[in-house]
């Protein structure tokens, strides 16, 4: 520790107690040096992923969500029913989705028969899911229904348990 007394000659009254402080190490990283460190496996933090919007070909108008938690098993069941607008004909719907498993999904165009999804492609890293349908969803409004299950986790993210 360094101590100094206020006096006319500060240098003469400087007392040294113990070892001097360690030198200050200052590192400055640019984007290019961060990329180089990352390519060598030395990056402290992963690169931030660019933000991507969901496709605008299908969008929700209004929705109802029902969650049924099981507080003994720390799981839940859920049902989503959403009025949706198909703006551009497509055979898939891309949605945000994290830490749930879809059991069934269907889309019923207004005044027409229900079309059941034939596949669910999860993009876990992007927290998205793509619902695939066997036929093209035509422009107009309809109802999207999804049944799903999940875990009441303790990650403080999503539908989680707290004590």
- CATH assignment of the domain containing 101: 2.60.40.1730
Total number of domains constituting the chain: 1
Give pLDDT tens digits for 47-59.
777 888 999 999 9
- In-domain check, residue 136: yes
Is the pLDDT at 14 greater than 50? The verdict is no
Is the pLDDT at 140 greater than 90? The verdict is yes
pLDDT classification of 153: cutoffs 50, 70, 90: confident
- In-domain check, residue 99: yes
- In-domain check, residue 137: yes
Is the pLDDT at 100 greater than 60? The verdict is yes
Pairwise pLDDT comparison (11 vs 52), residue with the higher score: 52
pLDDT of residue 42: 56
Burial class (CB in 10 A: 0-12, 13-18, 19+), 79: middle
Domain limits at 140?
A: 58-151
- In-domain check, residue 118: yes
d(CA 105, CA 138): 17
- In-domain check, residue 42: no
- In-domain check, residue 38: no
- In-domain check, residue 138: yes
Mean pLDDT of the chain: 82
- In-domain check, residue 94: yes
Residue 121 CA, chain-centre distance (Å), reads 16
């Amino acid at each position: 520790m360094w101590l100094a007394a206020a006096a006319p000659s500060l240098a003469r009254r400087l007392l040294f107690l113990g070892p001097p402080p360690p030198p200050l190490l200052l590192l400055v990283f640019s984007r290019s040096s961060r990329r180089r460190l990352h390519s060598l496996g030395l990056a402290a933090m992963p690169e931030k992923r660019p933000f991507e919007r969901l496709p605008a070909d299908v969008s929700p108008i209004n929705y109802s969500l029902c969650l049924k938690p099981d507080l003994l098993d720390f799981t839940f069941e859920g049902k989503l029913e959403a009025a949706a607008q198909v703006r551009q004909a497509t055979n898939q719907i891309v949605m945000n989705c994290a830490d749930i498993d879809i059991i069934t999904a269907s889309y019923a165009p207004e005044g027409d028969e229900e079309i059941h999804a034939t596949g669910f492609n999860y993009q876990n890293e992007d927290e998205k899911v793509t619902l695939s349908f066997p036929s093209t969803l035509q422009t107009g409004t309809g109802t999207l229904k999804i049944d799903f299950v999940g875990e009441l986790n303790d990650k403080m993210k999503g539908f989680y348990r707290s004590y």
